[in-house]
Chain A
Amino acid sequence: MITKLLTVSNKLGIHARPAGMIVDITGQAKSDVSIVFEGSKANAKSILNVMMLAIPAGSEVKFEIDGEDEELVVQQLEKLFDDHFNEEPC
């Protein structure tokens, strides 16, 4: 299992669109993926769960990825966060 801390660096935080982009990655992964924010842990393959965390800009979130393609998933998530979800950075 890999644990990865990532910082939300777009201005609007994880609203519907970035949540969708996360699920685009996690939903296709063979690994189990969880997202942890302020002590709440949720299934990162569920867009509703990700949205419900209402993660604001500048937050740090933790991903827990467990499965055969965990390396790939981490890379993809990292790139997504680094690109500020293709939105305006904060």
Chain B
Amino acid sequence: MTTSTKNPADFVAKSANEPKSQRIELVGVPSSPGFAMGTVFPVANREFSVVDETLPESRLATEEQMFLKAISKTSKEIAQIKEISESRAGIKDSLIFATHLMILQDPGLVNGVLDKIRKKHKNAKWAVHVVFSAYIEKFEKIDSPAMRDKAADLRDLYNRLMSAMDDSGPVLEDVSHEDGVILVAHEFVPSFLMTLKPGQVNAIVMDTGGRTSHVAILSRALQIPAVSGLRNVAALVKSGDTIIVDGADGTVIINPNEDDIRKFHERQEMFERQRRELFTMRQLEPMTRDGKYIVLHANIEIPTEADKVTDFGATGIGLYRSEFLFFRKGAPTEKEQQSAYRHILEKMAPHPVVIRTLDAGGDKLVSGVSAVNESNPFMGWRSIRVCLDREDVFITQLRALLLANTKGNLRILLPMISSMTELRRAKACIAKARKQLEDEGHKLPVVKIGSMIEVPAAVMIVDKLAKEVDFFSLGTNDLIQFTLAVDRTNELITDMFQPHHPAVLSMIYQTVVAAHREGIPVAVCGEMCTDPMSVLLLVGLGVDELSMTPWSVMTTKKIIRSINFEDVRDAALTVLQMDDAESVNEFLHKKYAQTIMELGISGFVGQVEK
């Protein structure tokens, strides 16, 4: 939650001297709260920009190195994919990767690029672009469909090489703006955000994505205001434009006028005031007026976030997404993981810490573990499926977790469980890791093991799962996406991602009923916990714990302290009888909108939705 700005006078003065650019106001999906004003820094991706320039002799060696590094990096990537593919699909179907590797070694291609650099004094990207384009064109003209298809393989390799060179080239290195800049792109990938330095960026805005995309989650963790799903903002801005971003209500103003700037400062002041006020209540209990205690935990993505979690009034970590450790080149070692986990566990002790095992795949690209192009990655080879196939990776993580648990406050959460077989196999892996360590002479405390409930199949067998785990954690983002068959990263259907759809509410309720029958608690760790109306519903449906971004803990606490449990339970039971999301939302709005608006948290949750 950053609120920084340059002196507004700078902007006014600037716009007076230059030809006035057109003011454009856009509304997207509010993805990470906070207000920011700054200058646009466009981040190009997907379409690689290549420049035809003639370089001085002195720079050629660097360009050559850049190209050779890209070749070796890409070869490594493909060799890894080949290995995974061979073990899963068999040698025969993996031959394409052997061909890719051979193409990367092709003397005609490699020397062609090197010649362009050495003899024509061109930069590496331009050389790759020109050489590949020529080959692709030739292949497209071949009178054999099988060979024409090879053009697609070349394009794939071209993209990989180009992004490999992008990685090694300067991205934001030149940006060290005093107050940061506002990044604008068609799309951001999580690993890109991980490379930002603190304070370097005021806000991010993008064409794609929604509230629950991993980029949105990550920007909340990094406390960078973000607006996503703007469709065409990247095409509308140019470098250096002034832009105002409101991460709470999703408004973005390009080239604001003086009136906009004045309003921006008013809102920013209100935001600061609300923030100070919220901080005063962080030590109060999250209890409803009639005495029902709701456990409020924080979700974190980065181990050092644990240092601040209790300041926001959270009494534990409800979800640490361990895969963010894997956003780098190569999987982290057992030692590296152990020290990251131990940092969190020791910081939080005696409070509980739920660490979710590697949930790679989907829109999270974890180098070294998953990189195969899947047409449907959310339903593909991801998460627990990867872990059970790559037992080496999984056991390493489990050993690190068990070793880090010196205070006994660890809870292990298994993601994406869709069958008893998976749950039992995963538990067997935990037992195996424990046995290994005990044989090595380690004394290990007992660890609670929980299952994510995020696949509809898990809800259908939830009474059976409840008998074999210690807790449930509802991953509402995936549960909604799978139940409603709505891809949460597809900006064309963000309106269909309805958390209050009766099918979703019924799934949550069934999970709670089954869990309470076995005497185990249910947590919700999805983004639903940050929407005030959803909080009321979840509490009413009987959810025991809510876990959310640290900042939201304070607002959620304020909401919980203002309600009666009996009342929200009646409301939830009434809502369960309704047959569409619109009726549910209308009912909730009528009943609670006024109450929520009077809580003075608008800067954090945006306008209460109708």
Task: State the A residues within 8 Å of B (CB).
Answer: 12-13, 15-17, 19-20, 23, 27, 43, 45-49, 51-52, 54, 56
A47 engages B142 (CB within 8 Å):
no
**B105 contacts the other chain (CB 8 A):** yes
Rounded to whole angstroms, the CA-CA distance of A17 and B106 in the bound complex is 15
Are B107 and A45 in contact, CB atoms less than 8 angstroms apart? yes
Task: For B279, list chain A residues within 8 Å (CB).
Answer: none
Tell me the chain B residues, 98-142 only, with Cβ under 8 Å from chain A: 98-99, 102-103, 105-109, 135, 138-139, 142
Q: CA separation between A4 and B603, bound complex, in Å?
A: 79
**Could you tell me the distance in whole angstroms from the C-beta of B124 to the nearest C-beta in chain A?**
19
Query: What is the CB-to-nearest-CB distance from B479 to chain A, in angstroms, rounded to a whole number?
Result: 42
Q: B516: CB under 8 A from chain A? A: no
Bound Cα distance A46, B105 (Å): 8
Interface check B427, CB cutoff 8 A: no
Residues 312 to 348 of chain B near chain A (Cβ within 8 Å): none
Partner of A54, one of B105, B107, B142: B142
Interchain Cβ contacts under 8 Å between A and B, 13 examples: A16-B99, A17-B95, A19-B99, A20-B98, A46-B106, A46-B108, A46-B109, A48-B106, A48-B109, A49-B106, A51-B139, A52-B139, A54-B142
Q: Which residues of B contact A13 (CB under 8 A)?
A: 144
Distance of A77 from chain B, by nearest CB (Å): 17
The reply to whether the CB of B150 lies closer than 8 angstroms to some CB of chain A is yes
Interface size, chain B (Cβ < 8 Å):
20
Is A54 in contact with B108, judged by CB distance below 8 angstroms? no
For the complex of A and B, list the 6 residue pairs with the smallest distance between their C-beta atoms, beginning with the closest: A46-B108, A54-B144, A47-B102, A16-B99, A54-B147, A54-B142
Contact at A52–B147, with CB atoms within 8 Å? Answer: yes
Q: Are the CB atoms of A16 and B144 closer together than 8 Å?
A: no
Q: How far is the CA of A15 from the CA of B149 in the complex (A)?
A: 11
Task: Write out the residue numbers on chain A whose beta carbons fall within 8 Å of the beta carbon of B96.
Answer: 16
Q: Does residue B9 face the partner (Cβ distance < 8 Å to A)?
A: no
- Whether the pair B107, A16 counts as a contact (CB closer than 8 A) is no
Please tell me which one of the listed residues A27, A43, A51 contacts residue B147 in the complex, with CB atoms under 8 A apart.
A51
Q: Is the CB of B98 within 8 A of A52?
A: no
* Complex: A56 Cα to B98 Cα, angstroms: 22
Q: Please, which residue of chain B has its CB at the minimum distance from the CB of A56?
A: B144
- The answer to whether A49 touches B108 (Cβ under 8 A) is yes
- What are the residues of chain B within 8 A of A47 when measuring CB–CB? 99, 102-103, 106
How far apart sit A52 and B108, CA to CA, in the bound complex (Å)?
12
Q: Report Cα–Cα, A23/B100, bound state, in Å.
A: 13
**Most chain B CB within a 10 A radius of its CB, from A20, A45, A46:** A46
- B95 pairs with A20, CB closer than 8 A: yes
Give the distance in Å from the alpha carbon of A43 to the alpha carbon of B147 in the complex.
Answer: 18
Chain A residues contacting B107 (CB-CB under 8 Å) are: 43, 45-46
In the complex, the answer to whether A48 meets B144 with C-beta atoms within 8 Å is: no
Q: Which residues of B, 409-429, contact A by the 8 Å Cβ criterion? A: none
A4 to chain B, nearest CB (A): 21
Residue contact A15 to B108, C-beta cutoff 8 Å:
no
Residues of B within 8 A of A52 (CB): 138-139, 142, 147
Residues of B within 8 A of A19 (CB): 99
Asked if A48 contacts B103 (CB within 8 A), the reply is yes
Check B146 against A15 for contact (C-beta < 8 Å).
Answer: yes
B143 contacts A by Cβ under 8 Å: yes
Q: Which residues of A contact B98 (CB under 8 A)?
A: 20
Residues in chain A near residue B146, CB distance under 8 A: 12, 15-16
